[in-house]
A = this chain, B = another copy of it.
Amino acid sequence: MSEITKHASPSGRPSRRMEPGKAALTRSAILDAGSQFLESRPFRELTVGGLMAATKYSRATFYLYFNDLHGLLETLLDEVKGGIVEGAQAWLSNEGDAVSGLQNSLRSLVDVGYEHGTILKAVSDAAPSDARLEHVWETFLSSFDEVVSARISRDQAEGFTPEFDPLLVARALNRMDAGFLIRAFGSHPKAEKESVFSAISHIWLATLNPFDTQTLDGFKSNGSAENS
């Protein structure tokens, strides 16, 4: 979806054998080296030369598998995408009550952020310097806007959620998630998961379900960072 695998079938017909495939291995090796690099250093310090020095291949080889460093990030992002959408599903469809469904979704969002924070930060860092990656990233973020907005509309119709422009509020909340999670988990040392969840969760609930008992409970007593 992201990068054109140039070597899949150089001539028209499909290559006879498609086993582990040496090419696939090389590609993986490059992706791994990239992932690992970004675990400890920012995207701006990543160069094709430096990256390939960490593999047993030459610099030119990189261009056989990716158009450029942004292309590599695009691939890395694809690998993360799955997890996020999946975890949020519960709330987005109407399963369970709104509040705890939302909490579950946010919980899993925080989990993914914690897990893949450095990749997300790298993509968000790299996006502004490349039109194509910027578009991919923006589309990725926007996709949440639409689906969250839809859920808000439903809750508004039911009277669970106050009236306001669902799309804009969804967009604001999603930008908050992105910015806050990347800030919290984008580089080491990572923030504490539970406090991050607690803060985000408060804001979403206060905004979307201010009348709900659970939300109000959270307001009266202490719903923030547990005595860690």
Contact = CB atoms under 8 A, between A and B. Distances in A.
A66 to B, nearest CB: 19
Specify which of A131, A176, A183 lies most central, judged by the most chain B CB atoms within 10 Å of its CB. A176
A195 B170 CA distance: 13
Specify which of A42, A128, A202, A210 lies most central, judged by the most chain B CB atoms within 10 Å of its CB. A128
Given A130-B44, A207-B206, A168 B183 contact: no
A153 to B, nearest CB: 12
A162 B225 contact: no
Contact of A164 (B42, B173, B180, B202): B202
A19 interface: no
Interface residues of A, number: 43
Query: In the complex this chain forms, how many copies of it are found?
Result: 2
Contact of A180 (B44, B175, B180, B210): B175
Contacts of A124: 128
B42 A173 contact: no
Interface string A76-114: 000000000000000000000000000000000000000
B173 A44 contact: no
Contacts of A178: 179
A199 interface: yes
A125 interface: yes
Interface in A202-219: 202-203, 206-207, 210, 218-219
